[in-house]
Structure 1
Amino acid sequence: MYLWDLALRKGNLGYIKYILKSSLMKLPIFSWAFHIFEFIPVERKWEIDEAIIQNRLSKFKDPRDPIWLAVFPEGTDYTEKKCIKSQEYASEHGLPKLENVLLPKTKGFICCLQELRGSLDAVYDVTIAYKHRLPDFLDIVYGVDPSEVHVHIRTVELYEIPTSEDEVTEWMIERFRQKDQLLSDFFTKGHFPDEGTEGDLSTPKCLANFLVIVGLTGICLYLTIFSSVWFKVYVVASCAYLSFVTYFSIQPPQLIGSPEGDDLHAKKAL
């Protein structure tokens, strides 16, 4: 959620893409948006997901096509129960026991890195901390924001990341150990090191966007209910089409390159 806010502030909202659980692609209406924005659904079974990720990322390699690819190496949300399970695994395999994050699963990240390394500008290591308490799913659904949200971003240049899988795994585990310490320090001090402040989003601009969305939604609902039968047929056909392409994961043709010229290099980040 807050990555969307970050992308909005940086003018890249239309370019952010998530790797998410395939079960989310079954949500009514939301799944249509996920499909249109070219999010990548995974089953969390590597023998299935590897081919899916490689196929989807093959369409994003053109350096003229901007993309922010959001990858969550932990593979799930943080809970106390999952943390204990992660610590047990760490003890059994001689890995660091983490208190504030889970041990990362590295195969997905390594696959993304291998597929996009030739066109990536950087990897952004993002750590999000919440004041007082971690919001749960219902908080997000009902729009109950935490009192404060702190975002720590470290830019990692590609030359800093090893190339072999074993070395990348070690590098990522070390990054998560540092991330765990970063969060421990945050909970002690109440802020990240060298923390700045981000200005508020423009209220008039946000209000204008909200009114446009509400207005267009209202017009569509009005036309659907009170217009001719042909418009109703069009709406039903559109919904059926979106349901069909989402269920069968049919992607639209990829637009190659940028209309502004072949020498343009768009921002790509993982």
Structure 2
Amino acid sequence: MEVKDVEMRDRTLTPARLFRGLLCLLVLLLTAFMMLVFYGFISAIFVRVFSIHYSRKATSFFFGSWLAVWPFLFEKINKTKVIFSGEMVPARERVLIIANHRTEVDWMYLWDLAIRKGQLGYIKYILKSSLMKLPVFGWGFHILEFISVERKWEVDESTMRQMLSTFKDDHDPLWLALFPEGTDFTEQKRIRSQKYAAENGLPILKNLLLPKTKGFHTCVQDLRQCLDAVYDVTIGYKHRCPSLLDNVFGLEPSEVHIHIQRIPIDNIPTTENEVANWLMDTFSNKDQLLDKFHSQGHFPHEGTEGDLSTMKCLVSITTLMVLTSLSTYLTFFSSIWFKIYVLFACSYLAFATRFNIRPMPIFRRKKIVLKLD
């Protein structure tokens, strides 16, 4: 208890942390804006007109450099320990990720795994549509092809299926992340979830909300032929669940524990009822795993991933700073045509994000079938 108290007292919001956090926010916002307007706009709009595959590769390169700032902030600047356990997963798989949703920043810590596997620019999320309305960042979610949902199945089904249909090319890496609980965990939501479970004969979970099964089943059904596996990810925090500002100012968490179980796609059932039962069983096991984490302070089989490569992060961040510096110079100190371009790009990105518009290639690749007599 004494060690814990000392560590928590050490993580107060000091003037140094406040200044560092505000500086980080400024850098993140500036770099995000410049990467979107100059490089995201070009890779996701102009390149996509000719090739979705190369558009995604270019977008992955540019935004992989920007996203690398976050794991670097967490692990190197804030000194948060990110501890992986469970199974060591391969680097180049097309996967569907399911994870518990304890707080508003769970999804950011999946970047710590993705950067270690070289998939940082290819990770996509299914997220609530209100987040697409965020200035600047909503444009980024659109360019990175996140799937926005209203959390009303009669509205979301067609949107999900349309987006999933664009993810079937085996040549494009894919990490699609889904939080089946549908919202972050709170005590009030837990009570409502347990009441519903008791009334409907479903598992009563202590550390999780009941998962919603339709979205998961749709992802598995539509992508089964082009996925390698499902990663069941369980996230636990010490000593307090962080908020976004906790992350920015380096207050919490002191440790993030990420447990991974890899399930080959062929081991996932096929019918909707079987998939729903499988997901319920998986969350029951996840609930027990979190019970042990809270009592023991760790997940089993730790140490499946090494420390984050400082050199790899510095290369990405250097690339990011060079590109941002060039873009900033062109915007403020160069020809007026660059200012007109920035205005046009901002207008287009706002419009495209609002109406979920993405250009299709002029020349579509056709499959050639040879018939032998």
Give your verdict on TM over 0.5: yes
Q: Is the 8 A contact 2:231 2:263 kept in 1?
A: yes
3-state SS of the aligned residue for 2:127?
strand
Instruction: Sort the Cα spacing of 1:159 and 1:216 in 2 relative to 1 into closer, same or farther, 3 A.
Output: closer
Question: Higher mean Cα deviation, 219-228 or 157-166?
Answer: 219-228
Tell me whether 1:221 sits opposite 2:331 in the alignment. Answer: no
After superposition, residues 1-270 of structure 1 pair within 5 angstroms as: 1-196=108-303, 198-253=305-360
Instruction: Sort the Cα spacing of 1:214 and 1:128 in 2 relative to 1 into closer, same or farther, 3 A.
Output: same
Distance (whole Å) between structure 2 residues aligned to residue 116 and residue 189 of structure 1: 37
3-state SS of the aligned residue for 1:156?
strand
1:261 aligns to what? none
Instruction: Sort the Cα spacing of 1:193 and 1:256 in 2 relative to 1 into closer, same or farther, 3 A.
Output: farther
Q: CA deviation at 1:105?
A: 0.4
Distance (whole Å) between structure 1 residues aligned to residue 234 and residue 172 of structure 2: 26
Distance (whole Å) between structure 1 residues aligned to residue 328 and residue 201 of structure 2: 58
Q: Which has the higher helix share?
A: 2
| AA at the equivalent of 1:68 | W
Q: CA deviation at 1:11?
A: 0.7
| AA at the equivalent of 2:266 | Y
Distance (whole Å) between structure 2 residues aligned to residue 120 and residue 83 of structure 1: 32
1:267 aligns to what? none
Distance (whole Å) between structure 1 residues aligned to residue 360 and residue 286 of structure 2: 39
CA deviation map 1:16-48 (0-9, x unaligned): 110011111111111111111111111111011
RMSD over aligned Cα atoms: 1.8
1:266 aligns to what? none
Give the number of equivalent residue pairs: 257
Q: Is the 8 A contact 1:130 1:150 kept in 2?
A: yes
3-state SS of the aligned residue for 2:130?
helix
**Share of identical aligned residues, percent?**
62
Instruction: Sort the Cα spacing of 1:74 and 1:256 in 2 relative to 1 into closer, same or farther, 3 A.
Output: farther
2:9 aligns to what? none
Q: CA deviation at 1:198?
A: 2.9
> Any gaps of 5 or more consecutive residues in structure 1?
258-270
